[in-house]
Each structure stands twice: as C-alpha cells, then as structure tokens.
C-alpha cells in the first residue's frame, strides 16, 4: 500500500518553529522552516540532522515551501540553507519573498548586535538564501520536477500568507500554514476549492475557541480611541511591526476619514516604512474593499498616519501613537508609556497577548504601581485596555476549511496538545475521517489508496460504449480489453492489438461440455426440440438451426448425438469459446435442467 509519511520537526503539538517533513510517493518536501521565540539555544531551530545524518540535504529534499513571512515559519531559513547547506528550490509567494528578508535582517540584528551572539547567520547569508527562492502566484501550478507539483491558495492571516497543495500523481497533501477564515480590514478570508486531498495538515492555534464577531471588537476599539481623543487624551498602542499593525492602521485611518477627525496619528518608524511600501505594492493580496478602491486611492497610502518623531511625545493635545514593541518590554513604546502613564486622560491599548514578566502583562493584570529600573516607582493613572486582534482561524473556521477541502485525513499541528485533542475528537466525529496530531519527531504514516490512471485506446472505448445500455454517469461499467503494462505505463487495448503489439499468436480456447438428456426420439428430433426450447427462452439472441442438425446460439455450438450405449439417452455437446464463457455456462445449466415435456 502506498503511504504518506509526516514528521514534524517543530510545531508538533507546539506553537513556534514550524517545520514539517512530508514524504509522499517517494518525494520529500519540507514545509516551513521557522524559529522558536521561546528559546535562545540550539532548540530555537529545528533539528535538521534528523533529516539526514550524513550526506547533503539537497539530495534528500525535493523542495522547501514557506507559507508566510512570520519568523516562526521562516526564521531558520538562512541557517538551514547556508549554514547546514541546502541548494534545492525554496518556494514562497511574492509578498513573502519581499518582506521575509526584512524581518530576517531585523532578527539577525537583534540577536547579533544586541545580544552579541556569534555563530549566527550573516546579512550575506540572508541574501544568498533569498537567491534560492522561487516565487509563486496564487493558484499557479508549479512543476517542481516531473511528478511533484505544488499550488498556492489564499490564506488570509498576513499579507502573502498561502496554503500549499503538494501533489504527486493522484496523491496530494494540503498544508495550510497559518490561516484566517474571517476577513478583516485589509485581508480576505482563506479559500480552498474541493480538492479532496489525501491529507490536510492544518494549524490549530485556536482549536478550542469560537470567537465573537469582529465588528464588536472593532467598534469597541474605535469607540475607546475616539472617546479618549475627544477628551483631549493621548492613545498609545504598542504593536509588533508587521501584520496586525497594518490592520489597526487601516481601521483607524478609515475611521478618521469617515468621522472627519483631525487629531494626528503617528507610527514609529523603522522597519514598518519599508514593509508598508510592499503592502502598497501587493494590492492583489488584500481584501475586496482595498482591491476595488485602490484605483482612486491606495488604502495603504495613509493620509492621517505620519511618521513618529521622539519629540512629538511631548506635544500638547490629543494624538494616537503606534509604537513597537508590542509587549511594552523595551524600546520606544516603553519610553512613551513612561511619559504618558501619569495622566488619567491618556490610554494604552494592548492589541494582543503579553508574555508574563513584561510591563504589558503587569498593567493588564491590574498593577497600578510599577517599579522601573533605578528603583523608580511609576504610578499608572492612564486607562489600560485590552483588545484581541488575532488572525488565526477559530475552531469553527478550521471545521469550515475541512468542509471546503473534503480531505480523507487530517493532521493537526501548530497548537497545544490538550486543545488539539478536543478538535481531533470533533473532526473524527463530524466528518468521519481519521485525524492525527503527532508530537515533534514522531512520524505519522497514512495509507493512501490512490487511483491509477490507465490509458484506453479510443477504438476500444467507442466500441465498448456502443454495446449495451447507454453510459450512466457514476455507475461502473464492465469492459473487455487487455491491460498492457509496458515501460512504466498502463494501457487498455483490444486483445488483437495487444497481441500484435506484443508479437504473440492468438490461441483459441474452447470449452466443451456434454449434457445427457433422456429422450427416446431420434437425434435430429431431439435437436429440433432443443432448438425450439432455446428459441423460446433466449429471445434476444440469434438461435439458428443448421442443416447438419447442429444448433448455434450466437457462436455457441450445440450438437445432439445418441449415446453409444443407451439409445434413450441423448448426449448434447455444447462448445463455446473463452469469450462467450458467460453465455456458454448459462446454456449448459439451462440444458442440464432438462427439456420441457413436449406435447
């Protein structure tokens, strides 16, 4: 039985360091190549030595696919390709290819320049790595080699995020990467056709959550910002540079536009500016609204959002500032926070989750007095709000995608084991498909039942369809022909042609059978009785009585002779060729029942 093998090197019952190995019909594909944010040692990258102990990765892997530009999906790529050594093709979408190096460079800077690590990949390595990347379009079928092909589907989540279908012959696997089934202000919803893959590898970050409508969240957010600004207060929104930041920008920008507000909005500069540039370019990857209106105005050309300067923080009057990083643990966002925390008119909105120990987490859990470095005590008088803006599919969304794609098996990655367990149970219950959730390093084997295509010669097809009733859709039809397996290809031919092709002579195969019938009459009279009997029973067939006393039914010959010993017993000789086996055996059984009593 052919099988598909899946081994997660990362993201198996875990979030972060996504890296999944798939072997399908003799092809090996690596899906994503991410880093883990929680570790600073060797564990931050997947263990590539698992793939091959000795020998080059390039020989073993047929291709690498990156689903989107988040570092937990592409962070280990330069290490993998340049330091471990891989020269094969790397596939990603155009926006991912454009934005990915910016993030990698940023990551490198922080690790090497700030933390002072050595033995890390260099800028040059990032560049070299990017040279190996092949960019793909949505729904474009890319032929990796003669048998392996991949195809990208839209996944929402972030700009350029894609789901990939990997297909070899009739077997296929769909890897979703991270995806979002509810559209937001700048991205559409993930979509896939009914491709019925053998295996669907899906993320399951929110396996046990069903989310509220995004409108309530948006409205709350906007209302809070608006009220504060009207009061004359300042709003601080700590964000990570890419992804949700753009979403919030669009949200505020359109709201400002609609409500005719004048208060300035600032965005801390740096990385974002470069990335925003790409957002402007890849309009086709955004949602319906932005795609439709960009002719008049590109939504990412913000009218109200300007670059932030450190000096602006002291300006009087209301303003809204987006600042990095998102958890208020360091950098610009923390500086601004310290300046504004003392005024109860101001507000800080945390748009995402905060790790324990960060200032963000402290203020969210209600702490009002913070101890800063140098024993300073900072009293937080400003309002603290929490708003969840996340772009992963929730449990319902995951189920919806499974319903759309109709896979034969599901495999869950990128989530917590306990939550996966619940979803796994649900999937098996509702769709009656088997579901797997391997841990890192654990191999899952899935048996497939691929269909094997066979070429049929046109002559044979036409001939066979002409016989018998009309072709009925969806019902199997019996055909007679010769299956020829030659040079790794299958063909269905008519026997004569097959013989000719193989240079073989035709052998006749005939079955004969004797049936004893009690009949005292003469031979030819018996023959006549048999003839009349068959004529009556087999109305659809041509039954003939030949002058020499024998009877033919189609090509079957029946002869009646007297038994040598007992004259009252007649022997009916029935003879048929191999091709007429069906009719022949039917006839013998019919004759064995005896002739009807004649009048």
Partner 1 sequence: MAAHLKKRVYEEFTKVVQQQHEDLSTKKLRLTKPSKSAALHVDLCKATSPADALQYLLQFARKPVEVESVEGVVRILLEHYYKENDASVRLKIASLLGLLSKTAGFSPDCIMDDAINTLQNEKSHQVLAQLLDTLLVIGTKLPENPSVRMRLVEVACKHLTDSSHGVRNKCLQLIGCLGPVEKGVAKEAENQAAKDVQKIIGDHFNDQDPRVRTAAIKAMLQHHERGLKLQQAIYSQACKLLADDYEQVRSAAVQLIWVLSQLYPESIVPIPSSNEEIRLVDDAFGKICHMVSDGSWVVRVQAAKLLGSMQQVSSHFLEQTLDKKLMSDLRRKRTAHERAKELYSSGEFSSGRKWGDDAPKEEIDTGAVNLIESGACGAFVHGLEDEMYEVRIAAVEALCMLAQSSPSFAEKCLDFLVDMFNDEIEEVRLQSIHTMRKISNNITLREDQLDTVLAVLEDSSRDIREALHELLCCTNVSTKEGIHLALVELLKNLTKYPTDRESIWKCLKFLGSRHPTLVLPLVPELLSTHPFFDTPEPDMDDPAYIAVLVLIFNAAKSCPTMPALFSDHTFRHYAYLRDSLSHLVPPLRLPGRKLVSAAVSPSITPHEDPSQQFLHQSLERVYNFQHLDPQGIQELLEFTIRDLQRLGELQSELAGMADFTATYLQCQLLLIKALQEKLWNVAAPLYLKQNALASAAAKQILEETYKMEFMYSGVESRQVVIIHHMRLQAKALQLIVTARTTRGVEPLFGMCEKFLQEVDSFQRCFISELPHMQGSFVDKLLDLMPRLVTSKPSEVVKILQTTLRQSTFLHLPLPEQLHRATANIIEPTGESDNPLRFTSGLVVALDVDATLEHVQDPQGTVKVQVLYPDGQAQLIHPKPADFRNPGPGRHRLITQVYLSHTAWTEPCQIEVRLLLAYNSNKSKASARIPKSTWSESLEALPPSENGIEGTIPFSKPVKVYIMPKPARR
* Active-site residue identified among 203, 247, 253, 464: 203
H/E stretch holding 291 reads helix 288-293
Q: Is 203 a catalytic residue?
A: yes
Q: Residues 211, 345, 408, 521: which binds partner 1 (CB under 8 A)? A: 211
Nearer to partner 1, 7 or 13 (CB): 13
Q: What are phi and psi of 381, to 5 degrees?
A: -100, -20
What gap in Å lies between CA 308 and CA 301, rounded to an integer? 16
Contact between residue 397 and residue 426 where contact means Cβ atoms under 8 Å apart: no
The residue among 477 and 486 lying less far from partner 1, judged by its C-beta, is 477
User: Per rule CB under 8 A, is residue 259 in the interface with partner 1?
Assistant: yes
Contacts 24+ apart (CB under 8 A), 210-218: 210/394, 210/395, 210/396, 211/182, 211/394, 214/182, 214/184, 217/387, 217/388, 217/389, 218/185, 218/251
Residues 158-187 interacting with partner 1 (rule: CB under 8 A): 182-183, 185
Determine, following the binding rule CB under 8 A, whether residue 592 of this chain makes contact with partner 1.
no
User: Does residue number 474 form part of the binding site for partner 1 (CB under 8 A)?
Assistant: yes
Identify which of residues 76 and 290 has a Cβ nearer to partner 1 in the complex: 290
Residue 46 lies near partner 1 (rule: CB under 8 A): no
Q: Which stretch binds partner 1 (CB under 8 A): 127-135, 223-231, 324-332, 436-444?
A: 223-231
Would you give the binding string for partner 1 spanning residues 362-401, x where CB under 8 A is met? Answer: --xxx----------------xxxx--------xx--xx-
Shortest separation between residue 425's beta carbon and partner 1, angstroms? 7
> Does 97 interact with partner 1 (rule: CB under 8 A)?
no
Find the part of the chain contacting partner 1 (CB under 8 A) among 13-21, 61-69, 267-275, 468-476. Answer: 468-476
CB of 222 or CB of 528, closer to partner 1: 222
Q: From the CB of 259, what's the least distance to partner 1, in Å?
A: 4
Among 1, 473, 485, 504, binds partner 1 (CB under 8 A): 473
Q: Give the span between the Cα atoms of 403 and 400, in whole angstroms.
A: 5
Q: Is 210 in the site for partner 1 (CB under 8 A)?
A: yes
Measure Cα distances from 567 to 201, 430, 517, 519, 592 in Å. Answer: 79, 73, 11, 8, 18
Q: The dihedral of CA 588, 589, 592, 596: what is its sign?
A: negative
In this structure, which long-range contacts are made by residues 223-230, counting pairs with CB atoms below 8 Å and at least 24 apart in sequence?
224/347, 224/349, 224/385, 224/387, 225/252, 225/255, 225/320, 225/347, 225/349, 226/255, 226/259, 226/261, 228/318, 228/345, 228/346, 228/347, 228/383, 229/261, 229/263, 229/318, 229/319, 229/320, 230/318
> For residues 209 and 532, which CB has a smaller minimum distance to partner 1 in the complex?
209
Residues that bind partner 1 (CB under 8 A): 182-183, 185, 188-189, 191-194, 208-220, 222-224, 226, 254, 257-260, 287-289, 350, 364-366, 383-386, 395-396, 399-400, 403-404, 419, 422, 425-426, 430, 470-471, 473-474
């Amino acid at each position: 039985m052919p099988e598909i093998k899946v081994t997660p090197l990362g993201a198996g019952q875990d979030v972060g360091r996504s890296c999944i190995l798939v072997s399908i019909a003799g092809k090996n594909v690596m899906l994503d190549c991410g880093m883990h944010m929680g570790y600073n040692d060797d564990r931050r990258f997947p263990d590539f030595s698992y793939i091959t102990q000795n020998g080059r990765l390039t020989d073993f892997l047929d291709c690498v696919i990156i689903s989107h530009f988040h570092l937990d999906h592409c962070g280990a790529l330069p290490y993998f390709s340049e330091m471990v050594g891989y020269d094969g093709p790397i596939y990603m979408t155009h926006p991912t290819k454009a934005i990915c190096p910016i993030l990698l460079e940023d990551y490198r800077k922080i690790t090497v320049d700030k933390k002072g690590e050595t033995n890390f990949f260099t800028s040059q390595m990032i560049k070299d790595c990017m040279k190996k990347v092949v960019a793909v379009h949505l729904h474009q079928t890319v032929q990796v080699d003669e048998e392996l092909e991949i195809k990208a589907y839209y996944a929402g989540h972030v700009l350029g995020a894609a789901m990939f279908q990997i297909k070899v012959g009739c077997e296929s696997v769909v890897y979703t990467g991270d995806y979002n089934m509810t559209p937001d202000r700048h991205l559409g919803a993930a979509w896939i056709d009914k491709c019925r893959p053998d295996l669907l590898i899906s993320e399951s970050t929110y396996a046990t959550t069903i989310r509220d409508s995004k409108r309530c969240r948006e409205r709350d957010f906007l209302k809070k910002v608006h009220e504060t600004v009207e009061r004359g207060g300042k709003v601080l929104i700590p964000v990570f540079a890419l992804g949700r930041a753009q979403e919030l920008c669009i949200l505020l920008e359109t709201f400002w536009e609609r409500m005719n507000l004048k208060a300035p909005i600032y965005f801390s500069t740096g990385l974002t500016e470069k990335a925003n540039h790409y957002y402007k370019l890849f309009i086709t990857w955004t949602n319906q609204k932005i795609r439709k209106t960009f002719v008049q105005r590109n939504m990412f050309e913000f009218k109200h959002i300007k670059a932030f300067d450190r000096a602006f923080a002291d300006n009087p009057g209301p303003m809204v500032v987006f600042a990095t990083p998102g958890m208020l643990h360091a950098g610009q966002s923390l500086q601004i926070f310290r300046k504004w925390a003392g005024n109860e008119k101001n507000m800080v909105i945390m748009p995402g989750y905060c790790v324990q120990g960060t200032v963000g987490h402290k203020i969210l859990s209600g702490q009002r007095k913070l101890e800063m470095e140098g024993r300073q005590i900072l009293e937080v008088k400003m309002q603290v709000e929490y708003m969840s803006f996340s772009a992963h599919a929730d449990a319902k969304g995951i189920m919806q995608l499974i319903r759309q794609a109709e896979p034969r098996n599901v495999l869950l990655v990128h989530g917590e084991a306990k939550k996966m367990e619940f979803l796994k149970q649900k999937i098996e219950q509702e769709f009656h498909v088997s579901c797997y959730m391997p841990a890192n390093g654990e191999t899952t084997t899935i048996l497939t039942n691929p269909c094997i295509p066979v070429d049929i010669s046109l002559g044979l097809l036409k001939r066979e369809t002409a016989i018998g009733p009309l072709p009925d859709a969806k019902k199997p039809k019996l055909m007679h022909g010769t299956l020829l397996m030659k040079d790794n290809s299958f063909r269905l031919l008519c026997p004569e042609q097959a013989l000719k092709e193989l240079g073989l002579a035709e052998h006749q195969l005939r079955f004969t059978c004797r049936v004893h019938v009690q009949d005292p009459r003469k031979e030819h009279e018996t023959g006549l009785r048999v003839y009349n009997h068959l004529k009556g029973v087999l109305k659809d067939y041509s039954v003939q009585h030949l002058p020499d006393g024998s009877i033919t039914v189609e090509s079957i010959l029946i002869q009646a002779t007297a038994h040598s010993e007992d004259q009252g017993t007649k022997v009916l000789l029935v003879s048929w060729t191999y091709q007429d086996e069906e009719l022949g055996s039917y006839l013998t059984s019919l004759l064995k029942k005896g002739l009807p009593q004649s009048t």
